[in-house]
Each structure stands twice: as structure tokens, then as C-alpha cells.
Chains A and B, each alone.
Chain A
Amino acid sequence: MAHAHSVKRYKGLMDWITTVDHKKIAVLYLLAGGFFFGIGGIEALLIRVQLAKPMNDFVTAQQFNELITMHGTTMIFLGVMPVIFALMNAVIPLQIGARDVAFPFLNSLGFWTFLFGGLLLNLSWVMGGAPDAGWTSYTPLSSSQFSATHGVDFYTIGLQIAGLGTLIGGINFLATIITMRAPGMSFMRMPMFTWTTFVTSAMILFAFPAITVGLVLLTFDRILGANFFNVELGGNPVLWQHIFWIFGHPEVYILILPAFGVISEVVSTFSRKRLFGYSSMVFATILIAFLGFMVWAHHMFTTGMGPIANALFSIATMLIAVPTGIKIFNWLFTMWGGQITFTTANLFASGFIPTFVMGGVTGVMLASAPADYQYHDTYFVVAHFHYVIVGGLVLGLFAGLHYWWPKMFGRVLSERLGKWEFWTFIIGFHMTFFVQHFLGLIGMQRRVFTYLPNQGFDLMNLISTIGAFLMGVGTLIFLANIILSFREKKGVAGDVWEDGRTLEWAIPSPPPEYNFKQIPLVRGIDAFWKEKMAGHQEMTPAEPVGPIHMPSPTILPFLMSVGLFIAGLGFMFTNDDFGNSLLNFMFNKYIVVAIGLGMTFLCMLLRSLYDDHGWHIEEEELKDGGVQA
């Protein structure tokens, strides 16, 4: 087979902007996620500095509102989501024995829309004030009447664009996992991380349309003068709460399920044992996803839905503790009797289990509607969700990054620094958030920018602030570890942990562009481990060596996202008077919106009109060692 057409290869920055390779997109997601994670972290530290002592005036009340809003929004939508997508992109095609995701073009588009949405949101800091209505942006606080600056517009339009990227990513992974598993890999032979990614992607597919609708309605209310949430004209602000949490609750399971997958992989690899109760793990994952869609109103117990609704949602919420408990016990039983090695990855995974249990227990406490009337909007809630998101998800992400780092970059992170990271981070974490349970119980409210002295809040807040800085130190050590690792020579063994169980460890680190020289044949759960135990050096190939079909790099996804970015920015300032006739004309007559959307649609047209059949890597070009132990 000849080349479909001449191969375009870009170098340097152009290579990164035009890439459709899932491994490079994973790196892009990691860089962007790390960047936003840093911004969110700095915002967190500023919040903690303000709260370190009573009656502090480090920031004003308005700045504090902006900080808490942007901390929550940034961390959830722009910090942890992309790092999750980084791991999925880096690992999923390798784990299922595929050469790329199902839609490489969409993969790139998903990344760039996410990035430009995130940048748009963060531009608000320098363009007249960040959003200040909380990450939940409840109406009527977020209406144009009470949030008169453009802050909330940046929130609605920035998240809309970023959310598009997430939705695209989710659909892509669904298609990838359904259609591109290697021969022999039935659904019940998929690695646990692939399973959780699959279920997470399905949840993204069902949950993100809700927030999309909500954001559109809020945008219409604010910019075009609609009244969906305006009581005076027949709207209903409770509608926003429902829409937000119909998305928002599945969203937190979208965050935690991939972490469950990471922990399952790490714990079983470093215990040198098969994951205990694999099928019950799959069942529990699906059950959590299913129940996750019918508990949203537990965020609204105090809204006044009445006792029947509260009781129903209480019970549904408590039910989720059952599948989660199954998972916890399965991890413990996987470790039980295993030959455990406490690498940094496994330390983070082992730290995850008790920490997440603590977050889960306060979750069940909050699920009780009568008790929630006491906890609602206090630091008890803040402690709870940081235990599950930081103590759960972020520890899981650290475990996953340490575990797969050698696979992604061909370099190992230092174990010595890793231990420092772990201990500073987890001690800092518990210092920061453990005391917040008690702060909440004795009455400290969330989202209040300062407090009076001598209410019993002073010492605990100081401890919390010190802990937050300790977590910052842990994160800095991680950064130092990354930088130092890039001074090492590239190229570690494919099966770098020596106990690799799944397919990604059967190929070199980092993998070649085409991942698998020959697609492997899968003969059981933990396919690579099974071959090793059978005394084989490598996976049995499922196809002869032949030319490999590759997708072409393209800049269209980048340009499409730039177009959306311009259109979003233009739409936001539709009603502004700039005191300049040209600017007024450009914005008030939707010229900027038209330019941006025109750019996006032109790219879509080009994509539709010009068929790109990709190119082939010929047999002679394939390096040795496609599939080997």
C-alpha cells in the first residue's frame, strides 16, 4: 500500500498545535491542567491567608468572593478534569491495545476547546473582575441584577466552551473503548482503569448536556434579557439549582471514578496480585454511576422541596455508600496477603483509601436531611468535599502520575523525592481539612470572608492555613521532581515496575508513535501478566506486520477553538458602551461574534470538503520491539 498522499510532519510548536496523537494530547492536557491547577492552588493559598486570623484584611470581601468562585471553578473544570483526561489519553489506547483513540481529530478539538474556554474564564481577572457568585453560580445572585460586572459572563461562556471539550472527550473515549479493543479483550477482560473511564465517559455524555442547557439559559438571562430565572417575570431560580445539580452531582462521580480506576491498577500491581473481586468492582462502578444520577437534590435539602423529596434523596444518597464500600473492601482484600511494595504511587494509593473513607463517612452524615440543616453551608461541607476531591481524586491523580510517568515520558520520577511529596502533601492535607469539620460543627460558615475573634475559630483556622502551605510545599516538590527527572536520560524498560499487568507495559516506554507494531491477542484479564506467567516473553500478535495507517496532523481544531474564543468574548460585551464608535459597532452589532463563529464554521467546512485519508508508516520504518516483555 502506498502513501495516501505525502506526509506532512511539523516540528517544534507547530507539531504540538497540530498533533492528533493521543500521547501528545495527553501531555498537552497535563501541561494545561497543571497550569490551571497552579492558578487554583494559588487562589486557595490566598483564601487561607485571608482566613488565617480573625478580622483579617488581606483581601477585600469582593476579592474573596472572586477567589472562592474561581478556586472552585478552576479546580473542578480546569484543574482536575484535564489531568484526568491526560491520564485517560496517555493510558486508555495502550491498555486496550489500540493505536490511537477512535476520533483523533476530535481528541485534538476537545483539548483546544477546553484550553480556550479555560483561558477565557481566567481572562476575567484582568478584564473587569472575576466571577463572584460561587462555583455554583446560584441565581438570583448570578443574575445581571446582582452580578453587574462581566464576571459571571466569563463563567457562563468560558465554561460553555470548556464543557464542549469535555463532552467531545467523553464521546471519543466511549467510541474508542466500544470499538477499538484488541482481539480477545471482551468487556469483562478490560483493565479496571478502562472500565472506570468507560463509565465516566458515559456519565459525561449524560451529565454535561444539563450544564450546557443551564449555562445557555443563564447567558440568555444575562445578555439577551430573558427571564428563565427571574421571579418577577415568571421565571424560577430553583430551576437553576436543579439544572446545576443534575449536572453537578454526576460531575463529582465523573471526577472520582477515574481515581477509583487508578487506585485499582496501582494497588493490584504493587501487591503483585490480581484485583480482588474484579466483577464486583465493575458492578459497583456501574451502580455508582446509575445512582449518581438520582441524588442531585441532596444538595438542595434546605431549598424547601418538602419532606418526601428530602427523604427519597436521603435514602438514595446513603445507598451509594454500598457500592463504594464494596470497592474499599476489594482494595483492602487485594492488598491482603500481597507482596506489597510501597513505591510512591502505591503510597498515594494507600493514603487514598483511609482518606477517602473519611470523606465518604461525612458524606453519609450529610445525606441525612435533618442533620444537613445543621451542616448546610458550614465548613463541615467544605471539609467533606475536600476530603473526597483532594483526599480522593487528587491523591489518586498523584498515584496515577507516578505510576504512568515512566510510560508517558520514558523517565522515572525520583522515589526519594516522591516520599517527601507524599508525606508533606498528606500531612498538610489532613491539617488543612480535618479541623474544618469542627470549625463547621461549631458554626463557621463557608464563603464568608472573615470572622470575629474569640469564637473558638482562631486556632483551627491558623492550623488549616499552615496545612494548606504544607500541601503547597508537597506540590512544589512534585514539580521539582518532574524537572529533575527531565535531566535523566530518556528510555526506561517497557515493563518498568517489573510487575506490570496490563497491555501498556508490554510496549516500550515511551511508546512509538503507532503504539503497537502488531496488535496483541488478549487471552484473559491482566493480559500481559497472564503471558508472563505462562512463560512467554511477549504478547502473541493478532495480526501480521504490515503498514500502519496513521491520522494526519491538522491545525483546524486549534483554529476552531480560537474562533469560539473570539465569538465568546465578542458576545459577552454585546451591551457595553466603549465610548468609541468603532468598538461599539464591532461589539454591539455582533461583528466580533460573526468573525469568531465564521472562523469556526469555515474550519468545519474545510474539514468536511477535504477528505484526509491519513498516511501510512511502512513496514521498514517500524522499530523492533513493538510487543515484547
Chain B
Amino acid sequence: MSTHDLNEDGAVKHRHRQEGPQKHVIAFIFSIILTLIAFAAVAAGGVNTAFTVILLLVMAILQVLVQLGYWMHMKDKGHMIPILFMAGGFFVAGLAIIAALYWMWW
């Protein structure tokens, strides 16, 4: 526990710099809007299916980025190691899935 300051309970103090609530409010509204668009696209029903699927995927990817960046603090300083490990995980898993599927079914 050397590199951390401990408070009375022995828990690690929160070290994130306080940065007003505005950004979180914006991120929250953005998350809600993304979700609403996804629901609306399905509920509307009139649009063709392929378009809806693609739209949903795009919304999902944006949602993941917002979640990781704002709520998991990935955009903040000092998060290089989580980013590195997540990228590593995506790389290994992606490579394995694509290569194994490619050589088994195509």
C-alpha cells in the first residue's frame, strides 16, 4: 500500500481529480439518446431490417465508447495500462475467433 494514501478505514483514497458534473451529465444524456435512437429504430419498424441492424451496431459501438471513456475513466490520464490490457484482450480474442472460424468454415 506504499504508493497509496490510506484514510481512516484503511481504504484507498479516491485519487481522481474532481472535475465538475457537467461532463458526466452530458455523457449521461448522450447515453440515453443513443439508447432511445436504438429503441426508436426498432419500434418504428418501417425501415428495412438491414439498415436497422447496422444502425443498432453503430449505436452499440458508440455506447461502448461513451461507457468506457466517461464512466470507466478511460479518457483520463493514468489509464494507459487498462487501455493496453483491453486492447490486448480484443486483439487476442479477435485473432482467435477470426482465424479459427476462417480455417474451419471457409
CB of A308 to closest CB in B, whole Å: 9
List the A side residues contacting B85 at CB < 8 Å: 174, 202, 205
Q: Is B99 an interface residue (CB 8 A)?
A: yes
Q: Is A297 an interface residue (CB 8 A)?
A: yes
Residues of B81-106 at the interface with A, using a CB-CB cut-off of 8 Å, are 81, 85, 88-89, 92-93, 95-96, 99-100, 103-105
Determine which of A180, A206, A296 lies in contact with B88 in the assembled complex, contact meaning CB atoms within 8 Å: A206
Q: Is A613 an interface residue (CB 8 A)?
A: yes
Q: Is A622 an interface residue (CB 8 A)?
A: no
CB of A457 to closest CB in B, whole Å: 36
Q: Is B54 an interface residue (CB 8 A)?
A: no
CB of A521 to closest CB in B, whole Å: 10
Number of B positions contacting A (CB below 8 A): 22
Residue contact A305 to B103, C-beta cutoff 8 Å: yes
A181: nearest residue on chain B (CB-CB)? B3
Q: Is A99 an interface residue (CB 8 A)?
A: yes
Residue contact B9 to A4, C-beta cutoff 8 Å: yes
In whole angstroms, what is the CA distance A181 to B3 when docked? 8
In whole angstroms, what is the CA distance A99 to B4 when docked? 13
Which of A125-133, A236-244, A264-272, A352-360 lines the interface with chain B?
A: A236-244
Residues of A156-182 at the interface with B, using a CB-CB cut-off of 8 Å, are 174, 178-182
In whole angstroms, what is the CA distance A296 to B81 when docked? 26
In whole angstroms, what is the CA distance A179 to B4 when docked? 9
In whole angstroms, what is the CA distance A181 to B4 when docked? 11
Residue contact B103 to A309, C-beta cutoff 8 Å: yes
Q: Is B6 an interface residue (CB 8 A)?
A: yes
Determine which of B3, B10, B92, B105 lies in contact with A614 in the assembled complex, contact meaning CB atoms within 8 Å: B10
A520: nearest residue on chain B (CB-CB)? B2
A242: nearest residue on chain B (CB-CB)? B100
Number of A positions contacting B (CB below 8 A): 36
- Hey, what's the 0/1 contact readout for B58-78 against A, CB within 8 Å counting as 1? 000000000000000000000
In whole angstroms, what is the CA distance A182 to B1 when docked? 9
In whole angstroms, what is the CA distance A205 to B81 when docked? 14
Known contacts A205-B85, A206-B89, A306-B103; A519/B9 CB under 8 A: no
Known contacts A239-B100, A297-B99; A613/B9 CB under 8 A: yes
- Hey, what's the 0/1 contact readout for A199-223 against B, CB within 8 Å counting as 1? 0001001100110000000000000
In whole angstroms, what is the CA distance A549 to B6 when docked? 9
Grouping DSSP codes into helix (H, G, I), strand (E, B) and loop, the B interface class, with mixed when no group exceeds half, is: helix
List the A side residues contacting B92 at CB < 8 Å: 206, 293
List the B side residues contacting A183 at CB < 8 Å: 2-3
Known contacts A246-B100, A306-B103; A178/B81 CB under 8 A: yes
In whole angstroms, what is the CA distance A4 to B96 when docked? 48
Residue contact B104 to A97, C-beta cutoff 8 Å: no
Residue contact B9 to A297, C-beta cutoff 8 Å: no
Known contacts A178-B81, A205-B85; A246/B10 CB under 8 A: no
- Hey, what's the 0/1 contact readout for B1-28 against A, CB within 8 Å counting as 1? 1111010111100000000000000000
Q: What number of A-B contacts does a CB cutoff of 8 Å give?
A: 62
Q: Is A542 an interface residue (CB 8 A)?
A: yes
CB of A94 to closest CB in B, whole Å: 13
B84: nearest residue on chain A (CB-CB)? A202
List the A side residues contacting B105 at CB < 8 Å: 236
Q: Is A88 an interface residue (CB 8 A)?
A: no
A2: nearest residue on chain B (CB-CB)? B8
Determine which of A182, A236, A293 lies in contact with B104 in the assembled complex, contact meaning CB atoms within 8 Å: A236
Residues of A215-268 at the interface with B, using a CB-CB cut-off of 8 Å, are 236, 238-239, 242-243, 246
Residue contact B2 to A210, C-beta cutoff 8 Å: no
Residue contact A243 to B100, C-beta cutoff 8 Å: yes
Q: Is A25 an interface residue (CB 8 A)?
A: no
B91: nearest residue on chain A (CB-CB)? A293
Residue contact B96 to A210, C-beta cutoff 8 Å: yes
List the A side residues contacting B89 at CB < 8 Å: 205-206
In whole angstroms, what is the CA distance A261 to B1 when docked? 25
Residue contact B10 to A613, C-beta cutoff 8 Å: yes
CB of A238 to closest CB in B, whole Å: 5
CB of A356 to closest CB in B, whole Å: 26
Residue contact A549 to B88, C-beta cutoff 8 Å: no
Residue contact A202 to B88, C-beta cutoff 8 Å: yes
Q: Is A98 an interface residue (CB 8 A)?
A: yes
List the A side residues contacting B81 at CB < 8 Å: 178
In whole angstroms, what is the CA distance A238 to B102 when docked? 12
- Hey, what's the 0/1 contact readout for A82-126 against B, CB within 8 Å counting as 1? 000000000000000111000000000000000000000000000
List the A side residues contacting B99 at CB < 8 Å: 242, 297
In whole angstroms, what is the CA distance A302 to B105 when docked? 17
List the A side residues contacting B4 at CB < 8 Å: 179
Residue contact A549 to B2, C-beta cutoff 8 Å: no
CB of B86 to closest CB in A, whole Å: 11
Known contacts A202-B88, A242-B100, A243-B100; A180/B3 CB under 8 A: yes
In whole angstroms, what is the CA distance A239 to B96 when docked? 11
In whole angstroms, what is the CA distance A450 to B2 when docked? 59
In whole angstroms, what is the CA distance A238 to B101 when docked? 10
- Hey, what's the 0/1 contact readout for A4-25 against B, CB within 8 Å counting as 1? 1000000000000000000000
List the B side residues contacting A296 at CB < 8 Å: 96
CB of A42 to closest CB in B, whole Å: 36
Between A and B, 8 residue pairs with Cβ closer than 8 Å are: A178-B81, A183-B2, A183-B3, A205-B89, A293-B92, A293-B95, A296-B96, A542-B2
Top 3 nearest A-B pairs (CB, nearest first) are A242-B100, A519-B2, A206-B92
Give the interface of A toward B (CB within 8 A).
Answer: 1, 4, 97-99, 174, 178-183, 202, 205-206, 209-210, 236, 238-239, 242-243, 246, 293-294, 296-297, 305-306, 309, 519, 542-543, 549, 613-614
- Given A239-B100, A293-B95, 19 further pairs, Cβ under 8 A: A1-B8, A4-B9, A98-B1, A99-B1, A99-B2, A179-B4, A180-B2, A182-B2, A206-B92, A236-B105, A242-B96, A293-B92, A296-B96, A305-B103, A306-B103, A519-B2, A549-B1, A549-B10, A614-B10
